[in-house]
A and B are shown apart, each in its own frame.
Chain A
Amino acid sequence: MSESAVTLLVGTRKGLFRLESDPVRGNWQLSGPFMAGNEIMHIVQSPEHSAHLLVSTNHPIWGAHIYASHDQGHNWQSLENTPHHKPGSFSPSLKAIWFLATMPQGHGVYAGIDPAGLFYSPDAGNTWEPVKGLNNHPTRNRWEPARGGFSVHSIRIDPDDTRRMVASVSAGGVFRSEDGGQSWEPANRGVRAENLPGEFPELGHNVHRVVQAPSEPSRLYRQCYNGLYRSDDFGLNWREITAGLPSDFGYALAVSPSCADTVFQVPESGSHMRAAVDGKLRVFRSDDGGGSWQSASRGLPQEHAYVSVLRQAMCTDSRPDCGVYFGTTSGHVFGSPDGAGNWELLASYLPRVLCVKALDLTQHGGDS
């Protein structure tokens, strides 16, 4: 098996850091911070040019912006325009840009923002237009802010039919479109929401994270406020796969780029604590699509680790042996070169980690 270096981008509350490995991923070199002082909310890579990146940022004084890099993250340039609601329609027009999603081909990009809104850019973030079918959805008055914000995130696009996509509202549930965003339907069948009446409410769920299997794009996994779920039909139906995990609560979720049944999750104690269950920082791995789970935590701290892994702070790379990476709210970054078989500490004492992204220089997978 050929070896090649991996570049991991780490987005924190105070800027972006680059971690570059040697070819066997044994040693890592840290550089940064880039865009120092900015919260790095999300990082995506262009499907057309592997060196082209976009990040969404937030700053308590200077606001939410998008930066672009054309050299794998060594240099960054702020873009002029941001996705935001038309002034007067929602207040504020823009609080944060939570999520970016590139179209599978070309230069199109979607952005999910707070207050809940979905926007599309046909030109790699230079101009933006609202996706009115979701932003003005007739159920919008039934959405409500979650503790972390009131945002659209986890935008997933079917590469085989790019008119088909899902977007997640916290808290409003997952919505699904089959016509390129013109119309949207709630896609929460089979999903619990203990904050709402009824066993399986139609919408209103607090969605924490939705990931898509690159090798089988109709396979989605979904971590909710109550439970972990799987869909085999791009969100039409969901079934719970929480059994075997120490908690039904969590944020971080990632899937193997080569096997849709291999999924990784970090369980957290419930909404009151929001930290690793029992102070043990554990990753659970399933190789049967959530039918069973095993702790895959060798090398991770197993006592007094009361940290959290945020929703965009775990990812896989595109290597055949499936590297997995995550960062914690305590500023520690862990990596496994072998699908969570063994973990190593790659960096420590960084600011709170908000997101990670393993750059895919082959353009064949890895999630973000």
Chain B
Amino acid sequence: MNEPANMVTVHLPLALREFVGGQERITVAGGTVRQALGELAREHPLAGARILGPEGNLRRHVNVFLGEINVRDRQGLESRIETGDEIFIIPAVAGG
């Protein structure tokens, strides 16, 4: 049975908006953060390739917050999401 496809909003930092037609946020479906980011990458591959590395994992200095909690402090990309959740893509200070 397929995972439920919950609709979530992904907020993008300024540096990535040029790769999604200037949008500040986009809506994607998925049951987990990985699925949501995977759909984002399929629709906007240039943005996706900057969030996820070639291995399909989060880049080291990219933080993903589900609400106010960094997914690295939850179940990482396997963190479950519900309709209405908000995902924030935020570059780490350490990477700049």
Contacts and interface: CB of A to CB of B under 8 A. Distances in A.
Same complex origin of A and B: yes
Given A61-B61, A61-B91, A87 B46 contact: no
Contact of B49 (A37, A61, A80, A85): A80
Interface in B62-80: 62
Given A37-B15, A92-B55, A93-B55, A63 B46 contact: no
B15 A80 contact: no
Contacts of A65: 49-50
A93 B91 CA distance: 21
**Interface size, A (range):** 10 to 19
Contacts of A92: 53-55
A60 interface: yes
14 contacts: A60-B61, A61-B50, A61-B92, A62-B16, A62-B50, A62-B62, A62-B91, A63-B50, A78-B46, A80-B46, A85-B54, A87-B56, A92-B54, A93-B53
> Which 5 pairs, one residue from A and one from B, show the smallest C-beta to C-beta distance?
A61-B95, A62-B50, A93-B54, A84-B54, A87-B55
Contacts of B45: 80
Contacts of B53: 63, 92-94
B17 interface: no
Interface residues of B, number: 18
A82 interface: yes
A82 B50 CA distance: 11
B21 interface: no
Contact of B15 (A62, A84, A87): A62
Interface of B: 15-16, 19, 45-46, 49-50, 53-56, 59, 61-62, 91-92, 95-96
A82 to B, nearest CB: 7
B93 to A, nearest CB: 10
Contacts of A85: 54
Nearest to B15: A62
A78 B46 CA distance: 7
A59 B46 CA distance: 14
A65 B45 CA distance: 12
Nearest to B55: A87
Interface in A48-77: 59-63, 65
B62 A61 contact: yes
A65 B55 CA distance: 15
A61 B59 contact: yes
Given A78-B46, A80-B46, A82-B49, A61 B56 contact: no
Given A78-B19, A78-B46, A80-B49, A61 B96 contact: yes
Contacts of B96: 60-61
A93 B52 CA distance: 12
A59 B50 CA distance: 9
B51 to A, nearest CB: 8
A65 B62 CA distance: 16
Nearest to B18: A78
Given A63-B49, A78-B46, A80-B46, A87 B91 contact: no
Contacts of B61: 60-61
Nearest to B62: A61
Given A62-B16, A80-B49, A88-B55, 20 more contacts: A60-B61, A60-B96, A61-B15, A61-B91, A61-B95, A61-B96, A62-B15, A62-B50, A62-B62, A62-B91, A63-B49, A63-B59, A78-B19, A78-B46, A84-B54, A87-B55, A92-B54, A93-B53, A93-B55, A94-B54
